[in-house]
Structure 1
């Protein structure tokens, strides 16, 4: 179900298709009241629940014409438009996840109709049950570790001695200063990477699962600090306070800036097993 159905191919028909936001357990924990009133996708009908056996999907009927390949590709190039759709998707997923484990599906997961969506629930029931079991009573937390501020490059220079001997001595001195500066930068980076790895190791020991994400290099407007670790962790709800305390202690112990964000719906941990 994580792949959009071929119904998003070129179609001129002004029909409705089934948009799937998330999959939950089909228990009393899932209630229509939890999603009532949510807008969902622009132009769509009311958000509703679609059950199949022990699983329930949070769905919405949306105009097929709004999700053709041409329309969706154009939307992907419009940052404001795609962010609006992503926020609408996340709002529904978050509402479902607030009352129990929910497997969030990718943006624009579509099926031709409810019957096709139910068939997909049945076909992938084993995977959905496995993921729901893993993320139950867990949340996703993001952690970013930053390296030290970049040292200033301005250096006090002695006046250049007159004559060729003076110029030669100055060139040698400048060369040594450059090599020492580069060596110092390399050592600081290696030290920062070592700290980031140690932070990640301690957090992984506390988490049920973890993922490393792409770092962003130098942080704009942040005194030249470098992003050394970007990771996300699946942490049991009862260990939330322990996580916050550990992050604070690691920051104090290492003298490193560490950012903790969350809790989030565990998007990063629903594609496994």
Structure 2
């Protein structure tokens, strides 16, 4: 959907999102990604695109690739893009477009977005009156069995007194027991993740399981669930209460974040 390259010239439009018809006061004054032109609405029949005129030279492939390698500059653009999307989404259902979605001229923008009108319409109906919430579940790491480590030193290095009779068998039994405890701990962690996911999905309209994040060195917990849920606005209180109940029932560390613009639930319809 993005046109980017040196062939772009003149009136290039940066498209933030597609929505119904937001109040003019919502769009007016939004800073966008440049201070050279105001953010504005572009009618698309029954829909509306939120756009901003930008200089084509600022978004060539070469310039954009350089921007992607500059973390500070990339964060600035991402924040500016999100601020516009969030402001519009606060007043009406909104489908965010990927950052740096560009078209040459209003006619080309209407033509390209018009081809996606049905998809936008389905997505807007789906997310109306909903918000996205994130749920992460953490459990303590599997406990280490220090007696096994001690036994390893004794059996392998052979301390001065020498291993006692049956020490090797005892070591293998302890190692086997430690492995079984780790497996039980992992199974319990997975059951906890499934229990939380099932309960939250029970009140959500849609959900997505994401890959759990690896925790930084020194973190004393393991992430076993990283999921996002599309929840009706009137059920936000139920979600908060359910999260507290699940914390008490499972003993797990459960983080609830949101409400967010439903980015995760507009691209799959």
Deviation at 1:135, TM superposition (A): 0.4
1:147 aligns with 2:144: no
Segment drifting more, 235-244 vs 181-190: 181-190
2 CA distance for matches of 1:165 and 1:152?
23
1:21 aligns with 2:16: yes
Structure 1, unmatched stretches of 5+, are none
Q: Given that residues 13 and 109 in structure 2 are in contact (C-alpha distance below 8 angstroms), is that contact kept between their aligned partners in structure 1?
A: yes
1 CA distance for matches of 2:252 and 2:182?
17
Q: Residue 184 of structure 2 is aligned with which of 178, 187, 201?
A: 187
Deviation at 1:216, TM superposition (A): 1.0
Structure 2, unmatched stretches of 5+, are none
Q: Given that residues 9 and 104 in structure 2 are in contact (C-alpha distance below 8 angstroms), is that contact kept between their aligned partners in structure 1?
A: no
2 CA distance for matches of 1:205 and 1:219?
32
1:222 aligns with 2:219: yes
Q: Given that residues 208 and 235 in structure 1 are in contact (C-alpha distance below 8 angstroms), is that contact kept between their aligned partners in structure 2?
A: yes
Q: Residue 4 of structure 1 is aligned with which of 2, 5, 8?
A: 2
Deviation at 1:154, TM superposition (A): 3.8
Deviation at 1:202, TM superposition (A): 1.2
- SS of the equivalent of 1:107 reads strand
Deviation at 1:78, TM superposition (A): 1.8
Describe how 1:19-58 pairs up with structure 2 within 5 A. Answer: 19-26=14-21, 30-42=22-34, 44-58=36-50
1:121 aligns with 2:98: no
2 CA distance for matches of 1:110 and 1:221?
43
2 CA distance for matches of 1:170 and 1:9?
71
Segment drifting more, 42-51 vs 138-147: 42-51
2 CA distance for matches of 1:179 and 1:44?
68
Describe how 1:1-273 pairs up with structure 2 within 5 A. Answer: 3-5=1-3, 8-11=4-7, 15-26=10-21, 30-42=22-34, 44-155=36-147, 157=150, 162-166=160-164, 169-223=166-220, 225-273=221-269
2 CA distance for matches of 1:255 and 1:261?
19
- Distance of aligned partners of 1:157 and 1:132 in 2 relative to their CA distance in 1, 3 Å threshold: same
- SS of the equivalent of 2:202 reads helix
Deviation at 1:251, TM superposition (A): 1.1
CA shift digits 1:28-74 (9 cap, x unpaired): xx122212222211354110110021111110011111111111112
1 CA distance for matches of 2:213 and 2:79?
23
2 CA distance for matches of 1:103 and 1:14?
27
Q: Given that residues 216 and 227 in structure 1 are in contact (C-alpha distance below 8 angstroms), is that contact kept between their aligned partners in structure 2?
A: yes
- SS of the equivalent of 1:105 reads strand
Deviation at 1:210, TM superposition (A): 0.4
- SS of the equivalent of 2:134 reads strand
1 CA distance for matches of 2:196 and 2:234?
21
- SS of the equivalent of 1:202 reads helix
Deviation at 1:208, TM superposition (A): 0.4
Deviation at 1:157, TM superposition (A): 4.7
